[in-house]
Structure 1
Amino acid sequence: MHYEIRVEGHLSETLANAFSELEHVVMSGQTVLFGRIVDEAHLYGLLARCQSLGLRVVEMRQLPE
């Protein structure tokens, strides 16, 4: 499964490195994290990581394969 997770603001390199398994790009005041998610546990772990780092998730969606 491939997912896109949009978070509010521009992530610093340090914060972006917390999501080393994903690629990222900054667009329109948001940072878009995207890449392959192996299972639901991985997805929930990423969301928990966002929460623990104080990031506001604006949108999350599964991308077509």
Structure 2
Amino acid sequence: MYEASVQDDLYQLYALQKCEHFSQWQEVITGINFKNIGRAKKYEGSEQKKDAVKSGRDRKRTRS
């Protein structure tokens, strides 16, 4: 489902690794266009996992 988007992002990162000079890096980085991975409107997974993620987010927010 996300494979094509992730693969494209990976190719763009590989292109950055190949740069040897700042001018090459600047050209490549301005052309990066990371893909937006869509989200399902309705969650269809485990309610326990969903609640665990929400709980973790809430704990992180209270610590910040």
| TM class, shorter-length | under 0.3
**Greater Rg over alpha carbons, structure:** 2
Q: Which has the higher strand share?
A: 1
Bigger relative contact order (CA 8 A; separation at least 6): 1
Q: Which has the higher helix share?
A: 2
> TM-score of the superposition, structure 1-length normalised?
0.23
